[in-house]
Amino acid sequence: MSDSRNAPEAPRPAEHTPGGRADEPGAGSPHTPGVSVRHTRAKGEPRFPDGPKADPAGSHFERRIRSFQPRRSRVTAGQADALQRLWPKWGLDIDGQRVIDLGELFGNANPVVLEIGFGMGEATAQMAAADPDTNILAVDVHTPGQGNLLNLADQHGLPNVRVGNGDAIILLREMLRPDSLDGLRVYFPDPWPKKRHHKRRLIQPEFLTLAAARIRPGGLVHCATDWEPYAEQMLEVLTAHPDFENTRPDGGFAPRPQFRPLTRFEGQGLDKGHVVNDLLFRRVQHHNQPPTGA
């Protein structure tokens, strides 16, 4: 399902469906819902004219080590339609060029949780439906997943979902205000199992320091992984970070909370004997730190 699988370098525009609905002028013949389609575009023609940009941050920021793997897969007609119709309303291109007002983005002052990496969005939609008073800013670069989550939000009437396209690091560093988030969710990020790739893992001290600056004191960081060595590293790094404390009195892993749905990805892993570990850490306020909003 996930993140990094997270951030940016969006898949190259290639064999995917065009922007525009099948019943609009010039859109071509109608497509069967749920069926992947090919479309030959002229050079320079945007993949989805009203949808997410291929590389929203462009060359404005340095090319750091990334924690994601670009994934190229086909966009169905239904997903393409959702991207065209709903992106202007519920989408956010992470360009790093402005600081966003989350109250304005969602149209209310409800708490906002950032989810980095949401796969196809089924679990995100379930959590949004179960807790309509919490806004979810869900970030991924997987275009089919973006379209699918927009579709789910539309079909199930979920106004508390916004879909971010691009690098979550740029979002945190350049576009969010201090203490603007009430939580962070990172479910099943790429484990980068080879030792030489461990530097690409998302949960690192530097990332946690950046996240801590955007999460209000008391906010919850919730990670989950089925890769046990990565789970151990997450536990070690989070435990050592001065801005977070484990919600477990024993300092260990947490049972899966009821608000996190069991995903298909997770179920397949459990069927294979994988162990899934959840980590729940709270953002702490230091004695010399002014209260939020001060």
pLDDT in tens, 86-114: 999 999 999 999 999 999 999 999 999 99
Give the tokens for residue 64. 């750091």
pLDDT value of residue 59: 52
Question: What span, in angstroms and rounded, lies between the C-alpha atoms of 266 and 245?
Answer: 26
Q: Is 62 annotated as a binding residue?
A: no
| Model confidence at 44: pLDDT above 50 | no
Specify the amino acid at residue 118. F
Q: Is 226 annotated as a binding residue?
A: yes
Averaged confidence pLDDT in the chain: 83
Residue 233: strand, helix, or coil: helix
| Model confidence at 19: pLDDT above 80 | no
pLDDT tens-digit readout, 176-234: 999 999 999 999 999 978 888 689 899 999 999 999 999 999 999 999 999 999 999 99
Residue 35: strand, helix, or coil: coil
Instruction: Give me the active site residues, please.
Output: 190
Q: Is 17 annotated as a binding residue?
A: no
Q: Give me the residue spans of the domains in the chain.
A: 77-283
Specify the amino acid at residue 239. T
Q: Is 190 annotated as a binding residue?
A: yes
Query: What percent of the chain stands above pLDDT 70?
Result: 74
Residues whose CB falls within 8 Å of the CB of residue 158, separated by 6 or more in sequence, listed in order: 125, 128, 129, 132, 152
| Model confidence at 26: pLDDT above 60 | no
Among candidates 142, 111, 144, which has minimal Cα distance to 128? Answer: 111
pTM: 0.79
Question: What span, in angstroms and rounded, lies between the C-alpha atoms of 55 and 288?
Answer: 40
Query: 77-283: what CATH class?
Result: alpha beta
